[in-house]
Structure 1
Amino acid sequence: MSATMAARPTLAVFVSSHGFGHASRSCAVLEQLCDLEPRVQIELFTRIPEWFFASLGQHLHFHELDCDLGLVQTDAFEVDFRATLSRLSDRLPFRPDLIQNLAQRVSALGCHAVLCDIAPLGLAVAEAARLPSVLVENFTWDWIYNGLAQQAPALKDYAKLLQPHFMGADIHIQTEPVCLPVRGTHRLGPIARTFRSSVSKTRDTLSIASTDPLVFISMGGTRVGFLFLDQLKTRFPEIRFAVSGASEVTETDRNLTLLPVRCPLHHPDLVRAADLVIGKAGYSTIAEVHAAGTPFGCFIRADYPEMGPLVEFIEREIPGKMLAPEQFADGTWLDELPELLAMQSVSRPSVSAAAECAALVRTSFLSRG
């Protein structure tokens, strides 16, 4: 091990800003890595807001960078294929000057390895900088693009451009629910951020009694319209609802607690404090309800490639019920609320896949000095 690395091991991290799921998983791993290696410096490249990673404290050096497009969406459920193809044509193949500039940057920062949560740009940068790379994923964009090629055939061309980057990672970690198992990878369970507050403390903060039924509604950081809020007040006055992203500030309106996306309450704690979670079937919410054992009413996009493996995992591991996206906008999912609330929570052993992943990352990049 070099003297420089012994002084302060440094990790470059490139995180997709397509939703909060990749950021949540990366943050969970990095929190554990900071516990395992208190000297670590994290050079984070992403367009996810810096506040999302505040738990990393002094370990974090933030670089705002649009490092991954993924897909352009018009809302939480719909893909804008024309806009996606237009923006991909501006990005791919990666510009050599962009790759070289970023490679020089991570080298100048003293990075010893590059971790990527499905951002292929980071993998290209690692190769150019001759640094070991770690890929963490439950799907990769080449797989998604191939799965959507029937709607937009040109996506196949971009899948071919990206596949070598994903296949070239030195360390490949797959986390459940895995969409396409790959031989020779490290296979781990769902990765969620750790809980910070007890159920009673979280409910006390919300001024919700332990005996009151609580439904937590979250679309995973996506800004959407909640057109059914009035129905929650008139049809279910005996039920408390906490709604993430429904307000710019925390406010109470009868039986509703409206929360901002940047909420002082930790999202996993809200998941655990609830009797039922309602939301989009996205990675981070699935990982959190799995860890908490909270029943999940989830909206699924039937035509999206990731949905099949996600639904299979939910049906096997989580007390849940699938809901159609159109039921969200018009509020017809509320007709099923009594049935959803009747589902029972489950308890499971506390196993930290995030800690396992952090240990793999630590061993991988510290052993290469």
Structure 2
Amino acid sequence: MLTAMDYPSLLVSAPLNIAFYVTGHGFGHATRAHVTIRRLLSLGHHVTITSSVPSFIFRDLLSRHSNTCELREVGTLDPGVVQRDAVTVDVEVTMERLSAFLDGMDTVARKEVEWLKSQSFDVVCLDAPFLPARVAKEANVPSILITNFTFDAIFAAIAETPSDHALVARCAALYAHADYLIRLPGHIPIPSFPTLSPQYTLDVPLIVRMAQQPRAVVRAALGVPLDAKCVLITFGGFELGNAGDGHAIEDVLPPGWCGLVGGQTDDKGVLGDRLRRIRTEKHHMPDLIHAADVVVGKCGYGTCSEVVAHGVPLVYVPRSGFAEEVGLVDNLMTVHGYAVQMPQGDFYAGRWQDYILRAEALKGTKTPQPIANDGEIAAANFVVSVGARRRHAASVGAE
């Protein structure tokens, strides 16, 4: 039997029409989708992105490929995990929102099926909302999950009651409609693909954004001396306030270090002589990571892949109820990167200095295993192969 990979892109006589659904829960999904979409566009295919993420993430693609790339901004097509703060899940509210979404999803699904059919798509990519898997199946379009986890596994890890587990089962049933899986590094078990068959699954290297400017250029633009030690703090959902015990806010930094606090605003940018805010929307995040000596942030795919790809140590705080973190730490950071865990108590108290110094020291004591950072090439070829197979079958059926 032929597999999807037996249909290379060379067999496509005309550009494919690809729908790419991207969850709005976490920028890491959108940034890695951006890399794969860029590759698909470079091969000459048409991509329609459906997502609720801020449009600036895809702005360059929409500008450079104005005739072949579209952004379809929609409301939430999937409920995510609700957080009480930067590192803690609100289980009750998360499950309430999941229940409400599942109970009302049929109307949304019907509209999406109509849209898919009206656009004559060849293949649907999912990173990684679950309802579009059912939608694609009903529209008779093959679907491909491109991810390191699925949200049913995330919900299952925090489910507490029988009704919670029933919601997880409904979520899993939607993912089961997906036809193929492209699995990314740092993965955890994906319930809808309990076994990996070469016919339906593909493991790829890192799909990751890379720095666009040299370290020296970025530092000069930020006013950071080239010889200074600098930590980049990327902790969405956490407002860096007093560092605890009555110390100044910049005392989170080791002596002599400077720090940049990334966020969606640069209001009140100066936090001290050695610490200031920057508006990350104005910068290419991999440039900032590449310019830093240490990153302090959440252990999500976007951050982990980018620090690994640029060889920058990460100080991360364990997050309660985030099952994907285990895969990222055990299967990516521990093997291919530099990582130091900071307990939540020290994080909130502002006792960061020791962890930052330990992370920096890892570069002199550890040699990570290399990992390729061109996973988008294999991923795009697989997507094109699936689309070509579907188009071939459709053309045969029409004869």
The normalised TM-score by structure 2 is 0.83
User: Are the structure 2 counterparts of residues 294 and 167 from structure 1 closer, same or farther at C-alpha, using a change threshold of 3 Å?
Assistant: same
Match of 1:360 among 363, 366, 382: 382
**Partner amino acid, structure 1, of 2:140:** R
In the alignment, does 2:307 pair up with 1:289?
A: yes
> In 1, Cα distance between the equivalents of 2:265 and 2:203?
38
Q: Does 1:12 align with 2:19?
A: yes
Structure 2 letter corresponding to 1:12: A
Q: Is the 8 A contact 1:135 1:169 kept in 2?
A: yes
Aligned position for 1:47:
52
Q: Please tell me whether the aligned partners of residues 231 and 258 of structure 2 are also in contact (alpha carbons under 8 angstroms).
A: yes
Alignment of 1:85-96 (within 5 A): 85-93=95-103, 95-96=105-106
Q: Which of 167-176 and 88-97 deviates more?
A: 88-97
Structure 1: how far apart are the matches of 2:130 and 2:322?
20
Q: Distance in 1 between matches of 2:351 and 2:254?
A: 14
After the TM superposition, which of the residue ranges 94-103 and 277-286 deviates more from structure 2? 94-103
- Number of the residue aligned with 1:188: 204
Inter-CA distance 125–255: structure 2 relative to 1 (3 Å threshold): same
1:241-262 alpha-carbon deviations (Å, 9 max, x no partner): 1211173459455322411242
1:195 match: secondary structure: coil
* Cα deviation digits, residues 64-83 of structure 1 (max 9, x gap): 22111121112221111221
1: CA distance between counterparts of 2:256 and 2:268? 20
1:76 maps to which residue?
Answer: 86
User: Can you list the C-alpha shifts for 1:116-163, whole angstroms capped at 9, x where unaligned?
Assistant: 0120111111111111101112111222222222x3443211221122
User: Does residue 199 of the first structure (1) align with residue 218 of the second (2)?
Assistant: no
Change (3 A) 1:10 1:73: same
CA distance in 1, matches of 2:126, 2:268: 33
1:32 paired with 2:39, answer: yes
Do the aligned partners of 2:187 and 2:324 also contact (CA within 8 Å) in 1? no
Letter in 1 for 2:373: V
Assess, with a 3 A threshold, how the Cα gap between structure 1 residues 155 and 256 changes in structure 2: closer, same or farther.
same
Deviation at 1:104, TM superposition (A): 1.1
Q: Which of 325, 337, 358 is equivalent to 1:339?
A: 358
* Partner residue in 2 for 1:325: 344
Higher gyration radius (CA): 2
2:395 is aligned to none
Aligned ranges 1:1-369 → 2 under 5 Å: 8-35=15-42, 37-38=43-44, 40-57=45-62, 58=66, 59-65=68-74, 66-93=76-103, 95-149=105-159, 151-180=160-189, 182=194, 183-184=196-197, 185-219=201-235, 222-228=236-242, 230-232=248-250, 236=254, 238-245=256-263, 247-248=265-266, 251-252=269-270, 254-262=273-281, 264-301=282-319, 303-313=321-331, 314-344=333-363, 348=370, 350-369=372-391
Partners of 1:256 and 1:355 in 2: CA distance: 39
**2:397 match:** none
- Give the residue type in structure 1 aligned to 2:299: A
Quote the offset at 1:94 in angstroms: 5.7
Q: Is the 8 A contact 1:223 1:245 kept in 2?
A: no
Deviation at 1:29, TM superposition (A): 1.2
How large is the Cα RMSD of the aligned pairs? 2.5
**CA drift at 1:107:** 2.3
Looking at structure 2, the residues matched to 228 and 266 of structure 1 have their Cα atoms a distance apart, in angstroms, of 28
C-alpha displacement at 1:310, in angstroms? Answer: 2.1
Instruction: Report the alpha carbon displacement of residue 103 of structure 1 after superposing the two structures with TM.
Output: 1.1
Q: Name structure 1 gaps, 5 residues minimum.
A: none
Identical-pair percentage: 24
> For residues 232 and 311 of structure 1, what CA distance do their matches in structure 2 show?
28
Contact 2:260 2:277 in 1 (8 A): yes
Tell me if structure 2 keeps the 8 A contact 1:146–1:156. Answer: yes
Asked if the contact 2:205/2:371 (under 8 Å) is kept, the reply is no
